[in-house]
Structure 1
Amino acid sequence: MKEIDIQGMTPAHLPQVAELSVATEQVKFVGTMEELLVNIDDKLHPHVILDGNTVVGFFLIDTQYGHRYDFAHPEALGLRAFFIDHHHQGKGYAKRAVLALKAFLLSAYPGFDQIYLTVNCKNPAARHCYQQGGFIDTHELYLGGAAGPQHIMRMVL
Structure 2
Amino acid sequence: MSVRDPYRHPVVILYRDTTVGFFVLHEGKNIASFTNNRNTMLIRAFSVNLIHQGKRCTKRAFHLLTAFVMKHFPNINEIVLAVNETNKLYEKSRFQDKGIRGMEKIGLPLILQRY
For Structure 1 versus Structure 2, the TM-score category normalised by the shorter chain is: 0.7 to 0.9
Deviations 1:75-106 (A, max 9, x none): 21111111111121111111111111111111
Once residues 64 and 45 of structure 2 are traced to their aligned partners in structure 1, the CA distance between those partners, rounded to angstroms, is 17
DSSP-derived class of the 1:146 partner: coil
1:153 is matched with which residue? 112
Read off the aligned partner of 1:104 and give its amino acid letter: F
Once residues 61 and 90 of structure 1 are traced to their aligned partners in structure 2, the CA distance between those partners, rounded to angstroms, is 23
DSSP-derived class of the 1:129 partner: coil
Does structure 1 residue 131 correspond to structure 2 residue 91?
Answer: yes
Read off the aligned partner of 1:86 and give its amino acid letter: L
TM-score, length of structure 1 as denominator length: 0.66
Partners of 1:118 and 1:152 within 8 A in 2: yes
Root mean square deviation of aligned Cα: 2.1
Once residues 40 and 135 of structure 1 are traced to their aligned partners in structure 2, the CA distance between those partners, rounded to angstroms, is 29
Once residues 119 and 60 of structure 1 are traced to their aligned partners in structure 2, the CA distance between those partners, rounded to angstroms, is 14
> Which is richer in strand?
2
TM-score, length of structure 2 as denominator length: 0.87
Shift of 1:50: 0.2
Read off the aligned partner of 1:140 and give its amino acid letter: I
Number of equivalenced pairs: 114
2:16 is matched with which residue? 52
Once residues 56 and 43 of structure 2 are traced to their aligned partners in structure 1, the CA distance between those partners, rounded to angstroms, is 19
Shift of 1:141: 1.2
Read off the aligned partner of 2:27 and give its amino acid letter: T
Deviations 1:14-48 (A, max 9, x none): xxxxxxxxxxxxxxxxxxxxxxx9x9621111001
> Which is richer in helix?
1
Once residues 76 and 129 of structure 1 are traced to their aligned partners in structure 2, the CA distance between those partners, rounded to angstroms, is 21
- Bigger CA drift: 86-95 or 70-79? 70-79
Partners of 1:48 and 1:57 within 8 A in 2: yes
Structure 1 runs not aligned, ≥5 long: 1-7, 9-36
Does structure 1 residue 62 correspond to structure 2 residue 21?
Answer: no
